Structure 1
Amino acid sequence: MGDIAIGVGLGQFHDGLPEPEELFRYVERADELGIDSIWLPDHVISERPELDTTVLMSVIAARTRDIKMGPSVLTLPARNPVAVANTYANLDYLTGGRGRVIMAVGLGADPRLCDVLGISSAQRPERLREAIELMRRLWTEDSVDYDGEHYQLNGVTVTPKPAQGTLDIWIGGNSDAALKRVARYGDGWFPALMSPQEFNTKLDRLMAFCDEVGREVERDEAGVILPSYVARDPDRAREIKARVLERRGLVGSSSKFEECSAFGTPVDCVETIQKYVDAGCTKFVLMPAGPPSERIGQLELYSREVLPELSSSTS
């Protein structure tokens, strides 16, 4: 089994936006602590405050040295793939071309983003496939011709190109249709709100789909997104979890959420994440809940009291 890698989210500001300097310090501290990666939700249409994914990735590129970064996940059918390929190639250049930029894409959690741009929701799967094909070619070829149903190019390229060739493209989603997309043209799988047993079952299903189409996706190129809040005070963790459940309308029916999140003391969170490790998962994104003012403290606890315990338990 590969090493355990823990990334963190930056977004979902239900309790209000952090001040810019507080946000900058969060990304800097994550880098200093050796957190594997930062992932940024793509919620252009949202009832809560959100910051643009690409703008935030530019901030991370300017403020950090080693941490990886990516969207979780980018609603690619709503974007022009030439512009996206150029933007992320630029980010690769600005981060030193050391593999710090990862693409994670999907149909998008909110179909309205496509609707407001005049794109039919029914077109999203094929637009996603064509866009991924196009981006890989734009990152590796000097003159791209493409005649698809939704995109047509004649002699187009982007420069600079990613230093190490095409960026890895992970595909989000929990459904069989999403797994088949990963099998056919993804480099990794990025589900959310999935129990350890579901993860194990669907990872096996993904491997079977890969066999069917004759492609290989490594078993450890899969990571799960877990809502999380860790605190030494269990009462504080319960308070934050209750607030999250209320926002999600899950009060009184929280068993599913309990299986798919990591709230509690550091020991509680280690136990939760260990269940995923036992199910074959080695990559995690802990999406922090709670006020922005507490999120740097979350990073400290993840780094010092959660990740080391997971590493020792799998050695």
Structure 2
Amino acid sequence: MPFDIGVFLPAPEDGTGVVAAARHAEGAGLDSVWVGDHLVTDAGQFDAPIALAAAAGATSRVVVGTGVYLPSLRHPVWAAKHIATLAAVVPEGRLRLGVGLGGRVAGPDEWAIAGTPWRERAARTDAFLDALGPFLRGEPVPVDGVDVALAPPAPVPPVWVGGGSDAALRRAARAADGWLGAMLAPSDVPERIARLTDLAGDRPRPAIGMVLHGGLTERPDRAETDRLAASLAARYGLDRDRAERVLVLGSPDQVAERLSALREAGVTLVALAPSTPWRRAVDLLAEVKRQLA
């Protein structure tokens, strides 16, 4: 079974640029590039669909993905138009739509700035997932008492639902082609797969993907592990031991061993969000891919 190895494009502060970064990742042999979706963050954030359209237009092979798009930040018709346009301009087969609730990084303030209700994130996300196919096919969709049909129609991309809660697993089992987990060690994966299989019922069980946090170095050391684990724990509200357990950091040999364990557990896609220098991390991740080929 194919094993997709991708990377999140660098933040604006890195200075690499979306086009140069996407070309570098493709040239290194990676399979996919990803962008997160936030309105405001401390470090700054590109608009995900616009960045991915630029990345896809500058490359010929690499798949582009949202990791993850937050429809609840937007009016549902604007959100659908956002994705319809992206699906129309990215060659078919080269787009993955990761969708989630978000909220951990910026919290309720991000939704207040957007003028959308924080407490309605789940309901708004479910409504978006239910309406996305009809919207993209150009079918009339009732919105606030008015039937809205978007044009031109666009291909419906594979949908990957992100999130680690049982509600997220239910959402993925009901409405998605894949599930994007995060903050998990290889030993955590079989339980999630069993739960997704049970929840899917008569539907095909979603494919399993994983967002990884960490990086690659030629000479990993304890101080670097401590620094990145502390940062991960603070950013995502993890206890220190769990942060170190889910952190992916090491030499290409060490990271290849970790990714091999994930693949054996049933994961078919990984996307690394590097905390080490981006270009070097991509080059070393390419070495990992060659080892796992």
TM-score, structure 2 as length reference: 0.89
CA contact (8 A) 1:111 1:121 kept: yes
Shift of 1:310: 1.9
User: What is the distance in 2 between the residues matched to 1:39 and 1:111?
Assistant: 24
With 27-36 and 111-120 compared, the bigger mean Cα shift is at: 111-120
Cα deviations across residues 104-156 of structure 1 (Å, max 9, x unaligned)? 1111133332233343333222111111122110112x34132xxxx436342
CA contact (8 A) 1:114 1:121 kept: yes
* 1:308 correspondence with 2:282: no
Shift of 1:4: 1.1
5 Å-filtered alignment, 1:161-200, equals 161-162=153-154, 165-200=155-190
Instruction: Report what 1:130 is aligned to.
Output: 127
2:93 equivalent among 69, 75, 99: 99
* 1:68 correspondence with 2:60: no
CA contact (8 A) 2:131 2:141 kept: no
Q: CA RMSD in A?
A: 2.1
Instruction: Report what 1:281 is aligned to.
Output: 267
User: What is the distance in 1 between the residues matched to 2:195 and 2:173?
Assistant: 10
Total equivalences in the alignment? 286
Cα deviations across residues 251-279 of structure 1 (Å, max 9, x unaligned)? xx643123312201111101111221221
* 1:25 correspondence with 2:41: no
CA contact (8 A) 2:65 2:96 kept: yes
5 Å-filtered alignment, 1:258-297, equals 258-290=244-276, 294-297=277-280
Instruction: Report what 1:41 is aligned to.
Output: 36
* Structure 1 residues 222 and 152, CA gap change in structure 2 (3 angstroms): farther
Cα deviations across residues 46-71 of structure 1 (Å, max 9, x unaligned)? 22232221231132123111111121
* 1:216 correspondence with 2:204: yes
User: What is the distance in 1 between the residues matched to 2:252 and 2:61?
Assistant: 25
User: What is the distance in 2 between the residues matched to 1:178 and 1:249?
Assistant: 21
User: What is the distance in 2 between the residues matched to 1:280 and 1:136?
Assistant: 28
Which amino acid counterpart does residue 132 of structure 1 have in structure 2? L
SS in 2 for 1:234: coil
User: What is the distance in 2 between the residues matched to 1:209 and 1:137?
Assistant: 24
Shift of 1:228: 2.3
Shift of 1:233: 2.0
- For structure 1, the 5+ residue unaligned runs are none
1:108 equivalent among 91, 102, 112: 102
User: What is the distance in 2 between the residues matched to 1:153 and 1:143?
Assistant: 15
TM-score, structure 1 as length reference: 0.83
Instruction: Report what 1:157 is aligned to.
Output: 149
User: What is the distance in 1 between the residues matched to 2:131 and 2:148?
Assistant: 10
Which amino acid counterpart does residue 157 of structure 1 have in structure 2? A
The percent identity for this pair of structures is 25
Which amino acid counterpart does residue 205 of structure 1 have in structure 2? R
Cα deviations across residues 12-54 of structure 1 (Å, max 9, x unaligned)? x4xx71225x543221111223311111112323222322212
- For structure 2, the 5+ residue unaligned runs are none
